[in-house]
Amino acid sequence: MENRHLCRGKRTDNGEWVEGFYFCMTHPNGRHTHHFIIPLGTDLSLGTPIEKIQVEVDPSTICQCTRLRDKNGKLIWENDIVNGSIKRGAAFYGCLVLWNECKARFDVRAFGCNFPMTLDECTDDISMSGFDYEVVGNKFDNPELLEV
């Protein structure tokens, strides 16, 4: 399955992560918007009403999938924290994966640093591009990994 359109977010009912396809609905009065994810693996062919399969998520935790995997095969998501090294020897720790709106790409940014490294230079095999990433957490569950 293509994973480039996947999103994830923390459920509002139990705080667990859910991965799937994102959509939102605004109340007719325009004052409240609900954010939902239809979980991966949901069988949509059975005619089940959307209200029974959608999961409401906290909008502040919604992350896009980068389509890339780390050296362990784990998907890399926006707001993940990664460690890595450049094959020429430089290492970096506790870097945050962020969407760069101006350049329409994912970047990796070290805490307190304004100079991003480009995440999307990588191919499906991260090590082929000269980088070796490992996801060590995310900014929601592991904020301590971003501290100096």
Positive or negative CA dihedral for 126, 129, 134, 138?
Answer: negative
143 band by pLDDT with thresholds 50, 70 and 90: very high
Q: Residue 38 carries which side chain, given as an amino acid letter? A: I
Two tokens at 24?
């939102």
Q: What is the pLDDT of residues 42-88, one digit of tens each?
A: 887 777 887 788 899 999 999 999 988 888 999 999 999 998 876 66
Which residues, at least 6 apart from 35, have a Cβ–Cβ distance to it below 8 Å? 9, 22, 24, 56, 57, 58, 59, 62
126 band by pLDDT with thresholds 50, 70 and 90: very low
